[in-house]
Amino acid sequence: MTSPTTSPVKLAVVYYSSTGTTAEIAREIAETAEKAGAEVRLRRAAETAPDAALDANPAWRAHATADAGTAHAEPGDIEWADAVVFGSPTRFGNVAAQLKQFLDTLGGLWAQGLLADKVYSGFVTSSTRHGGQEATLLALYQSVHHFGGILVAPGYTDPAKFADGNPYGTSHVAGRGDLPVDEVTRAAARVQAERMVRITAALRAGLTAAG
């Protein structure tokens, strides 16, 4: 929590979601961070797939329509933030192209050193239990290292993380869309969000005290 004399932690939650599972976790993280005292921007990576692909999958098209009110992520959202949580479904054990495309637009900020010294973390979804969740998060975190960011993974810092089982970030197995986001995943997301706000506030306070 922030004190009355300090400004709130600014947290950007940036995700890509095709059929809605990743978006649901993003909202859980954003809502929890707000309750913890953060100022939050919830943003989605722009869709890059052609309309024909969306139209061929009713769930994909339905989510695109339902999520249309969420603003697209812009580089300015990352510049604004003290901390950033990225979310992505796995794509062959890697970050979805839509989120990667957004990351690739951050080169200008990176060149100016404006991505450094921020706190970063990630979350992920997959169809199957061993569908590349950890590989996707580790691939995502390579970008954080290049940014000069401070990686804050949830680790096994709370009993809820032993139920979720992923120290790299919140993860959920969605099946073919028939496995909804459950309380295990939501609890893990809350742990991650609260930890992000707490650690970011502590780092900001320490940097301020150090002058």
pLDDT for the residue numbered 2: 46
pLDDT for the residue numbered 1: 42
SS3 content of the chain, % helix, strand, coil (to 5): 45, 20, 35
pLDDT for the residue numbered 16: 98
pLDDT for the residue numbered 6: 77
pLDDT for the residue numbered 133: 96
pLDDT for the residue numbered 211: 72
Low pLDDT (below 50) residues in the chain: 1-5
pLDDT for the residue numbered 4: 39
Environment class of residue 80 by beta-carbon count within 10 Å: exposed (0-12), middle (13-18) or buried (19+)? middle
pLDDT for the residue numbered 5: 46
Model confidence over 67-105: pLDDT tens digits?
A: 999 999 999 999 999 999 999 999 999 999 999 999 999
Q: What is the dihedral of CA 158, 82, 45, 111, to 10 degrees?
A: -130
126: which 2 tokens? 């997959």
Name the CATH superfamily for 10-210: Flavodoxin domain (3.40.50.360)
21: which 2 tokens? 């599972």
d(CA 138, CA 107): 20
Q: Where are the domains of the chain?
A: 10-210
* CA distance to 4, 42, 89, 96, per residue, from 86 (Å): 28, 10, 11, 11
